[in-house]
């Protein structure tokens, strides 16, 4: 299939490479010349604008930072909808708020283009390994058409319901992740302050009712696990500022739905405070340093 890919950043570049590896023809666009050059070297054709790319391809995937970029690329003057042929499928894998996703999908539908929101989890490692989870919103028939393409980049591909529901699943999951990480940080810090060995305490939690992904797969306390950001100064992983962005999306979606997210809002403020102290680039599990008496950060 001839696929167009826009947004070749930390996530988009490895995803695009996996499409090439699966044998698809690829046209790419990004504002960053080095990002485009990397994919051109790997065999992709370069397009100068979203509109130019739209004229060439059978399906388009976007992987952009936030709602404003997505709206610009789809709805802008030189945007995708200005040039794309009706019937070409559009898939946005960026993480944006559900209502913006529904707005862009409605504009695409009016133009005669099926559109899916398909945000991912799994991070840059999952993008490189082709093991991402895709949370997909849109019509069932469109989901089935897109599934083989998404399967070249991901392992779990879940249809979450109509347009916007992929983003709904993503913000709900990430809000819970942000909250659970703070819960584990708080409980571990309390136990250690009261004299427990972090590893022994984590072992108890992980075989008891407090167990969760933040405690057993991504423990924030140093010395508990290898191969997690806590083992190497909280570098790599999922940045505090990215978590903050996702909690902002959850808060905004909650405001629009008039649904209270009390712990989500509190978590947002804690990560905000941590980021304001200069820690935005650290992995989000570094939030444990807000609690640790011996932490420097």
Nearest one of 32, 68, 75, 26 to 50, comparing CA atoms: 75
Smallest Cα–Cα separation from 118: which of 52, 70, 188, 56?
70
Minimal distance, residue 80 CB to ligand NAD, in Å: 10
- Residue from 170, 199, 245, 293 carrying the catalytic annotation: 170
Q: Which of 39, 51, 59, 64 binds ligand NAD (CB under 6 A)?
A: 64
136: left (phi over 0), alpha (psi -120 to 50) or beta: beta
Closest C-alpha to 96, from 32, 177, 166: 166
User: Which of residues 10, 45, 131, 206 is near ligand NAD by CB under 6 A?
Assistant: 10
The verdict on 6 binding ligand NAD (CB under 6 A) reads yes
Q: Which is nearer to ligand NAD, 172 or 187 (CB)?
A: 172
**Residues within window 84-143 making contact with ligand NAD, judged by CB under 6 A:** 94-95, 120-121, 123-124
- 31 touching ligand NAD, by CB under 6 A: yes
Tokens of 290: 């807000």
**How far apart (Å, rounded) are the C-alpha atoms in residues 67 and 49?**
18
| 17 belongs to the binding site for ligand NAD (CB under 6 A) | no
Which runs of consecutive H residues, i.e. helices, occur in the chain? 12-21, 33-41, 50-54, 67-75, 80-83, 98-110, 123-129, 140-151, 165-193, 198-206, 213-216, 240-257, 262-274
State yes or no: is 170 an active-site residue: yes
Residues 233-272 contacting ligand NAD, CB under 6 A: 238, 242, 245
Cα torsion angle, 196, 201, 204, 209, sign = positive
> What's the min distance (Å) between Cβ of 30 and ligand NAD?
4
Residue among 17, 18, 30, 253 that touches ligand NAD (CB under 6 A) = 30
Count the site residues for ligand NAD by CB under 6 A. 27
Known catalytic residues are 170
Provide the binding-site residues for ligand NAD, judged by CB under 6 A: 6-12, 29-32, 35, 63-65, 69, 72-73, 94-95, 120-121, 123-124, 238, 242, 245
């Amino acid at each position: 299939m001839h696929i167009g890919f826009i947004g070749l950043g930390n996530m988009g570049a490895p995803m695009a490479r996996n499409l090439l590896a699966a044998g698809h023809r690829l046209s790419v666009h990004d504002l960053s010349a080095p990002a485009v050059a990397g994919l051109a070297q790997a065999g992709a054709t370069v397009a100068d604008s979203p509109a130019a790319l739209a004229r060439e391809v059978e399906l388009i995937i976007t992987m952009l930072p936030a709602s404003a970029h997505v709206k610009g690329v789809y709805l802008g003057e030189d945007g995708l909808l200005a040039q794309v042929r009706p019937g070409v499928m559009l898939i946005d894998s960026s993480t944006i708020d559900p209502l913006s996703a529904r707005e862009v999908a409605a504009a695409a539908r009016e133009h005669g283009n099926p559109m899916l929101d398909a945000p991912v989890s799994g991070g840059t490692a999952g993008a490189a390994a082709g093991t991402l989870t895709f949370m997909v919103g849109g019509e069932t028939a469109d989901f089935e058409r897109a599934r083989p393409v998404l399967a070249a980049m991901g392992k779990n591909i879940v249809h979450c319901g109509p347009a916007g529901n992929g983003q709904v699943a993503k913000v709900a999951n990430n809000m819970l992740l942000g909250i659970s990480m703070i819960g584990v940080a708080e409980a571990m810090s309390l136990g250690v302050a009261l004299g427990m060995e972090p590893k022994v305490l984590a072992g108890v939690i992980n075989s008891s009712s407090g167990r969760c992904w933040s405690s057993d797969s991504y423990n924030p306390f140093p010395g508990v696990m290898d191969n997690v950001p806590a083992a190497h100064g909280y570098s790599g992983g999922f940045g505090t500022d990215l978590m903050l962005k996702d909690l902002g999306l959850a808060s905004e979606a909650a405001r629009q739905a008039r649904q209270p997210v009390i712990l989500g809002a509190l978590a947002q403020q804690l990560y905000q405070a941590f980021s304001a102290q200069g820690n935005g680039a650290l992995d989000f599990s570094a939030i444990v340093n807000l609690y640790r008496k011996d932490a420097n950060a």
